[in-house]
Structure 1
Amino acid sequence: MIGSIDEVVIDCAQPAALAAFWAQVLGGEPVGRDDAWWYVVPPGWTQLSFQKVPEAKAVKNRVHLDVRVRDIEAATAQAEALGARRVGAVHQDRAGSFQVLLDPEGNEWCVVKPA
């Protein structure tokens, strides 16, 4: 083993706004180190940080977050009320169900309900 995860960092244009969004999705409080670096520590998980970068998001994420929920439709509606956008319909397979969403800056993530 080389090490352990210290934090997950998301590049973005507006760190404070994205930290506030994810704090509402996952819990915890948004904390600013400075204008270019904000973070939230969701209960029971590692620190999720937001780093300001000059370039805009251009392509699909290579890594995304799956957020476990009890009710896909209810969670999707709550996320949309916070500024998320739905992508397509709910997907179902042997592993369970999931809905792809975009956060306010267009980063893909999913609400998931395991089988």
Structure 2
Amino acid sequence: MRQLINIDVPELDAALAFYTRAFGLHVGRRLGADVVELLGGNAPVYLLRKPEGSPAAGEETRRYARHWSPVHLDVAVDDLDAALASALAAGARQEGAIRAANWGRIVTIADPFGHGWCLLQFLGRGYDEIAGPAAGSPAGSPAGSAA
């Protein structure tokens, strides 16, 4: 299986400027006048120009005001503060404070097209911290630490 990320946007040039600046992606190729392939992450991102008000799913029409969806995209970064600064400089809006968890740090942002994103910085064993001690590690001792 191979994942592709498709993002509907009302203006292709504005979206291209945002995603390349905010996330460091680069143009792979243009596919006609309404599609741009961006590369640089684990999966290609396709920006699809779809006008506001055009048919979406079911009887819905596309709208680009901030909206909530149970599906969102996370961007795992090495330096959350630097990634957040880049996203904000490119036009994202921060939606709350940076939060810390045992697996790392997270902040929620919205892009200029209404889509929600999470920027994540994994620490320690990342999401494996949720599962408990690493196999072979004494309880309460972080994996890989000198005890």
TM-score, normalised relative to structure 2 = 0.65
* 1:70 equivalenced with 2:68 (yes/no): no
Q: Stretches of 4+ moved more than 6 A in 1?
A: none
Query: Looking at CA atoms only, which structure, 1 or 2, has the larger radius of gyration?
Result: 2
Write 1 or 2 for the structure with the bigger share of strand: 1
Higher relative contact order (CA 8 A, sep 6+): 1
Total equivalences in the alignment: 111
Task: Give SS of 2:96's match.
Answer: strand
Deviation at 1:73, TM superposition (A): 2.1
Mapped partners of 1:91, 1:107: distance in 2 = 20
My pick for the range that moved more, 72-81 or 52-61, is 52-61
Task: State the AA in 1 paired with 2:6.
Answer: V
5+ long unaligned stretches in structure 1: none
Q: Tell me, what secondary structure is at the counterpart of 2:118?
A: strand
CA shift in 2, pair 1:38/1:81, >3 Å: same
**Could you say if the C-alpha distance between residues 110 and 73 of structure 1 is closer, same or farther in structure 2, counting changes exceeding 3 Å?**
same
Does the aligned pair in 2 maintain the 1:19–1:49 contact within 8 Å?
no
1:1-115 equivalences in 2 (<5 Å): 3-5=1-3, 7-24=4-21, 25-29=23-27, 31-42=29-40, 44-53=41-50, 54=54, 55-57=62-64, 59-115=67-123
- Segments of 5+ residues of structure 2 without an aligned counterpart are 55-61, 124-147
Conserved 8 A contact 2:16-2:47: yes
Q: Equivalents in 2 of 1:40, 1:111: separation in Å?
A: 18
User: Does the 8 Å CA contact 1:67/1:112 hold for their aligned counterparts?
Assistant: yes
3-state SS, counterpart of residue 95 of structure 2: strand
> Is the contact between residue 40 and residue 49 of structure 1 (CA under 8 Å) also seen in structure 2?
yes
Cα RMSD of the aligned pairs, angstroms, is 2.0
